[in-house]
Amino acid sequence: MLGDSANDLFELPRRSLPPIKIWVTLEERAEIEIRAAQTGLSVSAYMRAAGLNHPVRSVLDLKAVADLVRVNDDLGRVAGLLKLWLAEKRGQGASPVDVEALMEDLWALQTEMRQIMWRAVRGR
């Protein structure tokens, strides 16, 4: 029926392979379906990944990282504008020391956001 190699299994459409059946309560099934939807996977793909101990990431986490990237970019633009303002309008409005302190705070926030994004993407 199948070829000699175990790799031949991966060449067949998944629907033609024998399924693994598990017994779950209605509540467990609902929870599995919710978790699968959160990852953007089908229930079958989610269960396969979980059963093979593959990392399963939430789509929501990746969307949150994308949002953080946008905010990080905005912080960079604000810091750039402050730096430009400081160079062109030195001493007007806020004191240069206050503006430089604000810029340092923005850069610290950017660094913290990058660390959070890295941990989210790496799954830690």
Surface-to-core class of residue 99, CB atoms within 10 Å of its CB (0-12 exposed, 13-18 middle, 19+ buried): middle
CB contact at 8 A, 116 and 68:
yes
Query: What pLDDT shows up at residue 2?
Result: 46
CA angle in degrees (0–180, nearest 5) for 35-36-40: 120
User: How large is the average pLDDT for residues 5-13?
Assistant: 57
Query: What pLDDT shows up at residue 70?
Result: 84
What is the rounded distance in angstroms from the CA atom of residue 53 to the CA atom of residue 47? 10
Domain ranges of the chain: 6-51, 59-122
User: How large is the average pLDDT for residues 8-33?
Assistant: 83
pLDDT tens-place string over residues 47-86: 999 998 888 777 767 777 788 888 888 888 887 777 777 7
Q: What tokens appear for 14 in the block?
A: 């998944």
* In the chain, % of residues over pLDDT 70: 81
DSSP-derived secondary structure letter, 19: P
* C-alpha to C-alpha distances, 118 to 9, 79, 112, nearest whole angstrom: 36, 22, 10
Query: What pLDDT shows up at residue 124?
Result: 52
**79 against 1, higher pLDDT:** 79
Task: Say which residue the tokens 């994004």 belong to.
Answer: 117
Query: What pLDDT shows up at residue 1?
Result: 44
User: How large is the average pLDDT for residues 116-122?
Assistant: 75
